[in-house]
Structure 1
Amino acid sequence: MATSKGALSTTLFLIAISLFLALPHGGNALKLPFRPTDMVPPLPQLLSRPILNYLHARKSSSPEDPLPVFVGAASASNTANIHWKAPCFNHNSAWLELHNKSRTPFGGGALHINVSKAHTWYCDDSYLFATAYRVTSDYFFLSGEHTIEFDQWVSKAELEYVKKTGVSIFVMAFEMMGVLDMLKEVFPLITSAGWSERSNVNFLNKRMEASLLIRPLRQWVANVSTDSIHSGDLLAVSRFSGRRGGIQTLEKWVTGSYAGHIAVCLRDAGGKLWVGESGRENDEGEAVIAILPWDEWWEFELKYDSIPSSIALLPLRPDLRAKFNESAAWEYAKTMDGLPYAYHNLIFSWIDTMKENYPEPLGDPHVIASAMTVWNQVQPPYAANVWNEALNKRLGTEGLGFPEILEELKRRESSLAQVLTLPEQDDWVYSDGKSTSCAAFVLGMYKKAGLFGPLSSLIQVTEFTIKDAYSLKFFENDTRRLPKWCNDPYTILLSCQILGKYLMELPGYNSLEPYAHMNERCPSMPPKYRRSEGC
Structure 2
Amino acid sequence: MSRLLLAVAMAGWVGGGLGMRREEAIEREEMVIQAVRPGREESLQDMKAKVYMKMQGMARAKSAVMAREAKKPRREHGLSSALESMELLMKKFVDDRDSFRRDSFSKGTWTKRHKGRDRHHETLPGPEWSFVPEYIGSLRPGGGGIHWTGNCFNETSSEVNMDPLHNVKVTVEMHSPVAIFCEDAYFIATPFRYDLVDFLLHGKYEINWGKMEGEELEDMTANGVRIFRLPQSVARTIVDTWETLQLFLGALTGGPGVPRSVADKNLNFLSKYANYQMRPTASLATVDPSRMRSGDMIGVVRLDGLDPLIMWGTGSHLGHTAILMRGGNGSLYVCESQSKSNYWPKDSIQRTEWSQWVEWAKKASYNVVWMPLRDDVREKFDEASAMKEFEQLEV
Normalization by structure 1: what TM-score? 0.36
Relative to its length, the structure with more strand (as a share) is 2
Higher relative contact order (CA 8 A, sep 6+): 1
Task: Tell me which structure has the larger Cα radius of gyration.
Answer: 2
